[in-house]
Amino acid sequence: MAKVRMGMVGGGPDAFIGQIHRMAAGLDGNIELVCGVFSRNNDKNQQAADILSLSSNRVYADFQTMFDAEKKLPADERMEFVSIVTPNDSHHAIASAAIEAGFHVFCEKPATFNLAESESLAKQLQQSNSLFGLAHTYCGYPLVREAKHRVAQGEIGEVKKIVVEYSQGWLAKKLNNDGGKQGAWRLDPKSAGISCCVGDIGVHAANLAEYIGGSEIEHILADLGSVVEGRTLDDDATVLLRFANKARGVLLSSQISLGEENNLKIQVYGSLGTLSWSQQEPNSLWLLPGDKPAQLIRAGFDYLCPAAQACTRTPAGHPEGYIEAFANLYKHFSQAVVDHRDNTVANSQPDGVPGIKEAVIGMRFIEGTVQSSNANNSWLQLNTLNSKSMETNS
Amino acid sequence: MAKVRMGMVGGGPDAFIGQIHRMAAGLDGNIELVCGVFSRNNDKNQQAADILSLSSNRVYADFQTMFDAEKKLPADERMEFVSIVTPNDSHHAIASAAIEAGFHVFCEKPATFNLAESESLAKQLQQSNSLFGLAHTYCGYPLVREAKHRVAQGEIGEVKKIVVEYSQGWLAKKLNNDGGKQGAWRLDPKSAGISCCVGDIGVHAANLAEYIGGSEIEHILADLGSVVEGRTLDDDATVLLRFANKARGVLLSSQISLGEENNLKIQVYGSLGTLSWSQQEPNSLWLLPGDKPAQLIRAGFDYLCPAAQACTRTPAGHPEGYIEAFANLYKHFSQAVVDHRDNTVANSQPDGVPGIKEAVIGMRFIEGTVQSSNANNSWLQLNTLNSKSMETNS
Amino acid sequence: MAKVRMGMVGGGPDAFIGQIHRMAAGLDGNIELVCGVFSRNNDKNQQAADILSLSSNRVYADFQTMFDAEKKLPADERMEFVSIVTPNDSHHAIASAAIEAGFHVFCEKPATFNLAESESLAKQLQQSNSLFGLAHTYCGYPLVREAKHRVAQGEIGEVKKIVVEYSQGWLAKKLNNDGGKQGAWRLDPKSAGISCCVGDIGVHAANLAEYIGGSEIEHILADLGSVVEGRTLDDDATVLLRFANKARGVLLSSQISLGEENNLKIQVYGSLGTLSWSQQEPNSLWLLPGDKPAQLIRAGFDYLCPAAQACTRTPAGHPEGYIEAFANLYKHFSQAVVDHRDNTVANSQPDGVPGIKEAVIGMRFIEGTVQSSNANNSWLQLNTLNSKSMETNS
Amino acid sequence: MAKVRMGMVGGGPDAFIGQIHRMAAGLDGNIELVCGVFSRNNDKNQQAADILSLSSNRVYADFQTMFDAEKKLPADERMEFVSIVTPNDSHHAIASAAIEAGFHVFCEKPATFNLAESESLAKQLQQSNSLFGLAHTYCGYPLVREAKHRVAQGEIGEVKKIVVEYSQGWLAKKLNNDGGKQGAWRLDPKSAGISCCVGDIGVHAANLAEYIGGSEIEHILADLGSVVEGRTLDDDATVLLRFANKARGVLLSSQISLGEENNLKIQVYGSLGTLSWSQQEPNSLWLLPGDKPAQLIRAGFDYLCPAAQACTRTPAGHPEGYIEAFANLYKHFSQAVVDHRDNTVANSQPDGVPGIKEAVIGMRFIEGTVQSSNANNSWLQLNTLNSKSMETNS
């Protein structure tokens, strides 16, 4: 069977996340990078091509040129989907052009620069034949899927409370905005949008809570702060939550927490038990029944649900990590691309891959937290928020 | 040197916390239990006396009788301080009578039934010669003192954010209020006051944050809930904090978190590093500088500050726990009682023992969280709250 | 009920272990220290008396004087048992004199200076009316008792292998033998006997393996070393084991392992599952069934066996530690002393307290490891070893 | 730059380790699988080709056919190295034929069926132009390289003792030898050689100790056992060690330890400090100085040595695992293959890749443990062991 052919926009030689996407896409040996626009800088673009063993005629000057050119290639040669790994402000234009040209799209998060763009993209997708995947990487961990499965099976009863935290420390000190640090654009409203901390990591935490808990966040009360002096955007956030299923919640998100690396963790408290997972020890999932010994559920065992087993590549005790989790999104997405080749399947969201729904929800969450925080930390019903209200707001 | 003579009110045969107090007081061999009122039930009262090897003439029917009788005993025989381990609603009456009779007081927390009582007690103490200690046990851990010391020394720079959590699961399911479970009174407003979760454990978390961080909580926004149906009082609480030193904070407190035992933990994030401590692993304190390896500070080492070393009884690797932490409060309090014997020292708060100041602050915090939560989760400046405002409120 | 009256030999102002014994004995409020010989140095002896609030007429110049004098006191006043906390070389003489005088004995480990002394003590005890307790402290932890219970219940099937480790680092560097370090006598053959590392800590590990596993060590192959130059006695040891039930075993013991505090841990591997416990996290016990999630058994829960529950003083999540474990031995021993007061019970070993049998076994293990190691690390059947063979050997 | 072209022998559709090798080789995007013999079964062989998107003319019936055919392809098309992932008994024949045909070889461990074969391979390699890499995967972890670096830098002083353990539980119960379990061949002397437990995992532990500690094992005393009835080969082993630098050591290796997953861990105790690493938490390395707080060294930080940084693909807190460690060996090996293309470099062992030297050492260790264990667990000097002595022995 022919490999799935991927193009890429972004991810030049110095970029962190582009290389992660390429490793994740390549891990299972069923996706081949065939073309790309890796940098606006021509030298860096060609340099990337060389490193990646791409023939130079498949390296393009800009995304529109790439889509136009690839479209003209024979069906069994041309790119089948594009992976978008640029800063937030360009996601929409690239994705929209790709869909327009008939390609599938796999996109970094947050999906777009603002909610309006995500809503617009959602409409475009509805009228297209394209698949859309969103890189909410943490959903790709096997034990996150196990947790979701157990909640859905009722193993912890009714969900009563969720505490989710995503803490990092890399913005604890003032950065030199000279580009030395690759992530400095995240603090720039022109590239990042209206939020840094919530937009970059808080939205992951919100997604994880909704994914595992199986219920959407309906109301929020947010407390955003710019702890390091001189910043326009937030670098720290706490958000009180109410889910559709009436569960209470707290989301803590911070980039000024020195010593925290990439500390995403979640506790889902139910009426019959609790599930607890931490990204930095991703191969362990705790089930705490309260009155019996806690159980340590581990990746790689036969007792896991099929969804979790399908996301595992090694036996128990051989740690899998972030790249493997990421690869699971690509694995499911590329399988959907294959299924799509002969049009035998409907254009539904690939199982196990966050999509445009999560894109809109995520953008609404980001904009909602900013609005709630600005409104003296008052409660906000998320579905009353739409692109229009935000436009008025800004 | 003669042992310090302690009396006790409360702590009958079935009570949990009374026995803890006795073990804590007795651990270092310098305090002797000489008298008590252990139960309103005469049989249980006598039963306690027997178990405790107390002569029956030092077991009294009620606290007033005890204070009167002990007062008349020779100075080198009579009780020197009383330990109060009854439910919240009787603390004030007992403490006040003890002070009136010239005894020192060591009291369970929360200090009183409401803020007004604590403020009243504060006034009474000012005009007395009595010492007052409050059982904020967690301050007694050596590494909590080490953490306080390191913050004070500037080792983590300016405190920027504190996240403190105190989670338990023992109220996750409906209790039978038949008294089978010893703690059922905590859900009864008549015994417990206006809060269950914040009053019982949230206030410990607030105290710990102020103790280690070295700055008082000035503003709060609280979100209290009664998760289990049919409850009058809160069993779950999240509180947003602003400290006097401008640090941000989040306090999570819950009694419906199945599988959580007594999970009190704190992160103090500073501009130069982070300190992290968890009560369930109390002999470890983490210092995270961010850009260098995290350091695991352990109890029992010479490198600890004198205040921490003074609270440690065993070499490193010989775990000390909750009773030892509790004993540290008694140790410092009883030392102050000894110092007080010959009146050579001023009647100041014993070093290392929370006192009436913390009592008032704690009661204000408890009442403040209820008021903020009731006011649609809005910000409240704690020092604008006084007993009078609450009376109006209720 | 009158408290049990304890005397003490050893444990002067500077000693570590004596104060631990006193705290452990005093924790539950049912034992009273009434007399002692705390130091051969008269000043220190009196100083101890003052610190301990003992009347000076119950502080004696030497143990024989104490036993003689106490014997003459009224039955409800005199010491009921003596706690021996001196270096190893004097244990036998003190214990023997105490038994001779009709007192019960609670003794630090190793029981005696050599195997011959323990065997002699065993004979003397058989003909006496005295109880004998040995401070194998680690047996006192609730979850060690839970582990023993579960093995006995067959929960892990047949025991196949035991790995037990006891590592410390305090002898990693050369000590000044000037007595500054309190433990320097352990390296001196005249005080410590023929082994330092095995005699001080290895024997604890062996005892723990036999206690939990329920089967005696029958054969050993030992590899003892003096890692730090210039030492006569061992500071590091590895011992291969075969138990009576045919299980294999490995015992690792070291005092030169820098950074190890008091790292005693054990894995008991069975045909149906594994139990794992570590002294530095004593309130957790792991049960690993292999093909199902591991279970984290925690102190303070109702699901524990009665023996474990009887050794627990606090609810789950309120850590108990070394002193509490120690106190459990005293608690059971003192209960036996009380039962003995009216002679209604036979003079059997108090349940839950290691005794003279463990003393002999322990001394045989210590001498056996030295002999095996000296014999070019060859296998030794322990029951072929007796005091006589060792005398010939030395 | 053209990708490095890899062939494979073994690794059919059901095999575990073959797929791991392919993922590891493919992770960084610079190696391309171009041909293979995946199974002796023709259907499975073709099935593998299809799954792997290989053109069927590059899938061969046997390894000799493959080497012959590939040799005839144009230089820029043909396989450059072969990856051998078959059971132990065929390693030597395949490797030898590959070298004979002028290819480089990357081989699973243990290198060969017996020591004689490894010694023979070593001679052949000396006279060839081929590179040889051995899959001692655990050397590929960044923090293993950091540990090696720190020992070499003298950060822990003189190495005094190494304790290394590799425990698994998958052979705790009797397997059905019907091939259902993919690893059953490891218990069969015809496929596995003279050892199961030491040959499969003990040799990894020995390699890790030598790699990090920087000194070879010179003497061993081994205690091998077949715990599960009816087995010819060992499933459990303990080995006492003496290193060339005089350090003592203990190696524990077991496959009957229920609940252990892939528990490889090592403590290197030095005169100035201790290093501790565990494969199941591979992104953490502990440095314990003894008298100062322990340091938790974490993957992904700038403070790591260049060798560790070169093996890391993600920022701190984004866990990397087993596949990434494996990929590091392929990364370094394939770089050496590239360097070799134009013959500008000498045929030395690629930095960071275990080779034929480790192959011979490993086989000598395996055969030595069996010999020592059979000789009543007596000490054996490893360099007195050679293929001849073993032939006599068997």
In tens, the pLDDT along A107-117 reads 999 999 999 99
pLDDT greater than 50 at residue D17: yes
Convert the pLDDT of each residue in A251-275 to its tens digit: 999 999 999 999 999 999 999 999 9
Convert the pLDDT of each residue in B53-101 to its tens digit: 998 899 999 999 999 999 999 999 999 999 999 999 999 999 999 999 9
Q: Which long-range contacts does C283-287 make (Cβ < 8 Å, 24+ apart)? A: C283/C142, C283/C143, C283/C319, C283/C320, C284/C143, C285/C143, C285/C146, C285/C147, C286/D259, C287/A293, C287/C150, C287/C155, C287/C156
Output the pTM of the full model: 0.96
pLDDT greater than 90 at residue A351: no
Look up residue B176 and give its two tokens. Answer: 């039978």
Exposure string of B36-53, with b = 16+ CB inside 10 Å and e = fewer, is: bbbbeeeeebebbbeebe
Alpha carbon of A13: minimum distance to chain B alpha carbons (Å): 25
Q: Which residues of D touch C253 (CB under 8 A)?
A: none
Alpha carbon of D302: minimum distance to chain B alpha carbons (Å): 8
Q: Which residues of B touch C52 (CB under 8 A)?
A: 29
Q: Scanning every residue of chain C, which has its alpha carbon at the shortest distance from the alpha carbon of D270?
A: C258
Q: Which residues of C touch A298 (CB under 8 A)?
A: 293-294
Which of C285, C286, C295, C304 should one mutate to test binding to chain A, selecting the residue with the greatest count of A CBs within 10 A? C295
DSSP for D294-326, please give it. Answer: EEEEETT-TTS-HHHHTT--S-TTS---HHHHH
Low-confidence ranges of chain C (pLDDT < 50): 178-180, 389-394
pLDDT at C394: 34
Alpha carbon of C354: minimum distance to chain A alpha carbons (Å): 29
What value of ipTM does the predicted structure carry?
A: 0.94
Q: Which residues of D touch B292 (CB under 8 A)?
A: 303
> What is the C-alpha separation between A268 and A281, in angstroms, rounded?
17
Q: Scanning every residue of chain C, which has its alpha carbon at the shortest distance from the alpha carbon of B298?
A: C261
Strands (E) in C244-307, as ranges, are 248-254, 263-270, 274-278, 284-288, 294-298
A240 to B274: CB separation less than 8 angstroms, yes or no: no
B236 to A376: CB separation less than 8 angstroms, yes or no: no
Convert the pLDDT of each residue in B317-326 to its tens digit: 999 999 999 9
Topology (CATH level 3) of domain A4-138+327-355: Rossmann fold (3.40.50)
- Going from the C-alpha of C53 to that of each of A105, A112, B258, C49, C59, the distances in angstroms are 81, 75, 46, 6, 11
Alpha carbon of B288: minimum distance to chain A alpha carbons (Å): 5
Q: Which residues of A touch C292 (CB under 8 A)?
A: 303
pLDDT band at residue D131 under the 50/70/90 scheme: very high
Q: Which residues of C touch A294 (CB under 8 A)?
A: 295-296, 298
Q: Where in chain C is the domain with CATH 3.40.50.720?
A: 4-138+327-354
Q: Which residues of D touch C240 (CB under 8 A)?
A: 223, 238, 377
Q: Which residues of C touch B322 (CB under 8 A)?
A: 314, 318-320
> What is the C-alpha separation between B381 and D32, in angstroms, rounded?
65
Q: Where in chain C is the domain with CATH 3.30.360.10?
A: 142-311
Q: Classify C45 as helix, strand or coil.
A: helix
Which residues of C sit within 8 Å Cβ distance of B?
Answer: 1-3, 16, 19-20, 22-23, 26-30, 33, 50-53, 168, 170, 260-263, 279-282, 298, 300, 313-324
Sheet holding D104-107, edge to edge: D31-37, D4-9, D81-84, D104-107, D132-134
D300 to A261: CB separation less than 8 angstroms, yes or no: yes
Q: How many C-beta neighbours within 10 Å does residue C122 have?
A: 16
Q: Biggest alpha carbon distance in chain D?
A: 64
Convert the pLDDT of each residue in B171-184 to its tens digit: 999 876 533 455 77
D252 to C163: CB separation less than 8 angstroms, yes or no: yes
DSSP for A4-53, please give it. Answer: EEEEEES--TT-HHHHHHHHHHHTTS-EEEEEEE--SSHHHHHHHHHHTT
pLDDT band at residue B354 under the 50/70/90 scheme: very high
Q: Which residues of B touch C300 (CB under 8 A)?
A: 261
DSSP symbol at B14: T
D293 to B295: CB separation less than 8 angstroms, yes or no: yes
Tell me which of B269-273, D173-177, D369-373 is least confident. Answer: D173-177
Alpha carbon of D346: minimum distance to chain C alpha carbons (Å): 42
Alpha carbon of A287: minimum distance to chain C alpha carbons (Å): 9
Q: What is the mean pLDDT of residues B286-291?
A: 96
pLDDT at B180: 44
> What is the C-alpha separation between B368 and D269, in angstroms, rounded?
54
pLDDT at B390: 45
H helix or E strand, kind and range, residue C42: helix C42-51
**Residue C150 identity:** R
Sheet holding B31-37, edge to edge: B31-37, B4-9, B81-84, B104-107, B132-134
B109 touches B134 (CB < 8 A): yes
Give residues with Cβ within 8 angstroms of D146, minimum separation 6. D285, D297, D304, D305, D307, D308
Convert the pLDDT of each residue in A155-164 to its tens digit: 999 999 999 9
pLDDT at A394: 35
C162 phi and psi angles, rounded to 5 deg? -125, 130
A291 to C303: CB separation less than 8 angstroms, yes or no: yes
C23 to B261: CB separation less than 8 angstroms, yes or no: no
pLDDT greater than 60 at residue B343: yes
Torsion over CA: D358, D361, D363, D365 (sign): negative
B18 touches B77 (CB < 8 A): no
Q: Scanning every residue of chain B, which has its alpha carbon at the shortest distance from the alpha carbon of A223?
A: B240
Q: Which residues of D touch B293 (CB under 8 A)?
A: 287, 295-298, 301, 303
Q: Which residues of B touch D296 (CB under 8 A)?
A: 293-296
Q: Chains meeting D at 3+ CB pairs closer than 8 A?
A: A, B, C
pLDDT at B162: 98
A293 to C297: CB separation less than 8 angstroms, yes or no: yes
Q: What is the mean pLDDT of residues B156-165?
A: 98
Q: Which residues of A touch D280 (CB under 8 A)?
A: 317, 319
Alpha carbon of C272: minimum distance to chain D alpha carbons (Å): 7
Which of D150, D155, D156, D161 should one mutate to test binding to chain C, selecting the residue with the greatest count of C CBs within 10 A? D161
Which of B296, B302, B303, B305 should one mutate to test binding to chain D, selecting the residue with the greatest count of D CBs within 10 A? B296
Which of B156, B171, B236, B238 should one mutate to test binding to chain A, selecting the residue with the greatest count of A CBs within 10 A? B238
Convert the pLDDT of each residue in B89-130 to its tens digit: 999 999 999 999 999 999 999 999 999 999 999 999 999 999
Q: What is the mean pLDDT of residues B335-352?
A: 83
Convert the pLDDT of each residue in C327-361 to its tens digit: 999 999 999 999 999 776 666 888 889 999 999 99
Q: Where in chain B is the domain with CATH 3.40.50.720?
A: 4-138+327-355
> What is the C-alpha separation between A276 and A208, in angstroms, rounded?
12
DSSP for B91-157, please give it. Answer: HHHHHHHHHHTT-EEEE-SS-SSSHHHHHHHHHHHHTS---EEE--GGGGSHHHHHHHHHHHTTTT-
pLDDT at B392: 36
∠ at Cα B119 (B118, B124), nearest 5°?
A: 95
D217 touches D129 (CB < 8 A): no
Topology (CATH level 3) of domain C4-138+327-354: Rossmann fold (3.40.50)
Q: Which residues of D touch C260 (CB under 8 A)?
A: 274, 288
Q: Classify B55 as helix, strand or coil.
A: coil
Per the CATH hierarchy, to which homologous superfamily does domain D142-315 belong? Dihydrodipicolinate Reductase; domain 2 (3.30.360.10)
Torsion over CA: D303, D304, D305, D310 (sign): negative
pLDDT greater than 90 at residue D105: yes
B282 to C319: CB separation less than 8 angstroms, yes or no: yes
C19 to B313: CB separation less than 8 angstroms, yes or no: yes
Alpha carbon of A272: minimum distance to chain C alpha carbons (Å): 17
Which of B21, B46, B314 should one mutate to test binding to chain C, selecting the residue with the greatest count of C CBs within 10 A? B314
Q: Where in chain B is the domain with CATH 3.30.360.10?
A: 142-313
Look up residue D381 and give its two tokens. Answer: 């000097």
Q: Scanning every residue of chain A, which has its alpha carbon at the shortest distance from the alpha carbon of C286?
A: A293
Nearest Cβ partner for A252 among B160, B163, B289: B163
Topology (CATH level 3) of domain B142-313: Dihydrodipicolinate Reductase; domain 2 (3.30.360)
Provide the CATH number for the domain formed by C142-311 in this structure: 3.30.360.10
CA dihedral of residues C197, C311, B110, B30 (deg, nearest 10)? -60
Quote the mean pLDDT of chain A.
93
A260 to B161: CB separation less than 8 angstroms, yes or no: no
Which residues of A sit within 8 Å Cβ distance of C?
Answer: 287, 291-298, 301-303
∠ at Cα A91 (A85, A94), nearest 5°?
A: 95
| Beta-carbon contacts below 8 Å between A and D | 114
Q: What is the mean pLDDT of residues B297-314?
A: 97
pLDDT greater than 90 at residue D9: yes
pLDDT greater than 90 at residue D347: no
pLDDT band at residue D345 under the 50/70/90 scheme: low
Q: Where in chain A is the domain with CATH 3.30.360.10?
A: 142-315
Q: What is the mean pLDDT of residues A71-93?
A: 96
Q: Which residues of A touch D261 (CB under 8 A)?
A: 298, 300, 315-318
> What is the C-alpha separation between D80 and D5, in angstroms, rounded?
5
